[in-house]
Chains A and B, each alone.
Chain A
């Protein structure tokens, strides 16, 4: 079976995700992503001619909340899982 995902597409997606992949990682990802697509391809075996296309599994409409402020997290909890923080801000490698 021919590859659906090419090496170039893997590079493009890696760029969008700000990931730097080595040659061997590119190869590994190309293979894995194709396996995933093949697996998802099984869904195409189903006959969906009679089923209307939808973006949601259940027919929900207008799920709202009222415009009311509720307490936010404690800042130290908000920052707790961050790889970099100084107690006030998240700290990231300089951008732009």
Chain B
């Protein structure tokens, strides 16, 4: 029997506020342990949490960007459990009244067509602390700097049909978070985390199988690998007619398997109740309108604009808007060099190739948009040839020098001088009498050979168009 996976993702995103969600402690990553703590985030008796307005504003941004409905009134609830990374004995989260529900996200599906993944809800909550286990002694060490750092949890509907789609959805969410400037989306550092629910069902049927919750996948690759493993495991279980247990499993990236948490698992009885310390949050239309008016342009809209305004192919627009930084790079370049398609070609080929090769992100690109524009102006105005431009680009990328200074230093200015090229052509013809007579006898293909020889003589600096013209004239004459 053919099976199809049914996948839903729960994404936790750390919001980029300066201070924590309920107190004024810093949210900065990497502080010395327990130096960003106060009576509120330590859970001392008798303190009162007060909500950071920016957390609500950022969550509204995400809700609007994902087409969610924003609740006119929402409130916080206590999720009760005991664990050393949670000093109060409960996590302040939202339960039956989250800030946002019922949205969707457009992603690129497995077959290339676009797909809509529905979003069940988005709610606000506080992060827990960090535990470090001693390798030799029976102790664990607790750092509470992260306790109370604001998070949003984005819960999808089980609309995702494959591990690739899951990765694609995750990327789309990360891009929106980054465009909105509310989360830096770094999975390795934990500022974005992802859990998955996955079950299998016979292909084409509508039912839902027993679902397994998958945790501990801290990179895009691991999310995909974890889901792929879990699909294989569940398939084997079904084929052997063994029951699939509803449980939480951890992805073990070292061994490439998922491992049951049974036995170690927390008793799943959180006894949620409304937090009496926090007043309900009312979001009126005026507030929503205010946030909406300040929303930056999102990937979808940017893509459309690149196609209509700059007449770029859809593919180019997709690549250029795949990250906010790349889109900004392109538009900054365009200010200095107003030929969109040529600029796009160079970014998608030379620039991205060099970035990949040096394993750098666009943010750390040694060639600024202005520098690239300067290079393209030199190329476009015929001062350097296309071939030379590529070599100059490589040098710019490795040395950080400007195009003009490299061209000046190495004397790379294209030779368009008729007489200079003519004398090079004459030399090549007199050095290769055999080829000349073959060409004259009808072997047209040899034109390439002659062009190559002339270019070599001029160290690649001759204007290829003029070389062609002169060669044809002389050879046919």
Binding site for B on A (CB under 8 A): 12, 15-18, 55-56, 60-73, 75, 78-79, 84, 86, 88-96
Contacts and interface: CB of A to CB of B under 8 A. Distances in A.
The 4 closest A-B pairs by CB, nearest first: A70-B24, A89-B141, A55-B274, A67-B54
A2 B25 CA distance: 50
A65 B140 contact: no
B interface secondary structure, majority: loop
B141 A86 contact: yes
Interface residues of B, number: 52
Interface in B1-47: 17-19, 24-26, 32-39, 42
Interface stretch (B127-135, B185-193, B217-225): B127-135
B32 A64 contact: no
Nearest to A64: B53
Given A65-B52, A73-B39, A89-B33, A95 B24 contact: no
Contacts of B387: none
Given A72-B38, A78-B42, A94-B138, A63 B131 contact: no
Contact of B50 (A55, A65, A79, A94): A65
Contact of B52 (A62, A67, A92): A67
B282 to A, nearest CB: 5
Contacts of B81: 16
A90 B282 contact: no
A87 to B, nearest CB: 10
A56 B280 contact: yes
A70 B19 contact: yes
A64 B281 CA distance: 9
Contact of A64 (B17, B51, B132, B144): B51
B18 A67 contact: yes
A45 to B, nearest CB: 23
Contacts, number: 127
Contacts of A94: 133-134, 137-140
Contacts of B139: 84, 91-94
Contacts of B312: none
B113 interface: no
Interface string B68-86: 0000010100001111100
Given A95-B84, A96-B264, A63 B34 contact: no
Contact of B36 (A72, A86, A88, A93): A72
B319 interface: no
Contact of B24 (A64, A68, A92): A68
Contacts of A89: 33-34, 132, 141-143
A96 B133 contact: yes
Contacts of B25: 69-70, 72
B265 to A, nearest CB: 11
B287 to A, nearest CB: 9
Contacts of A71: 24
A90 B50 contact: no
Given A16-B81, A88-B32, 10 more contacts: A15-B267, A18-B82, A55-B75, A56-B274, A56-B279, A66-B52, A73-B42, A84-B139, A93-B138, A93-B139
Interface in B219-276: 264, 267, 269, 271, 274, 276
Given A56-B276, A68-B18, A95 B34 contact: no
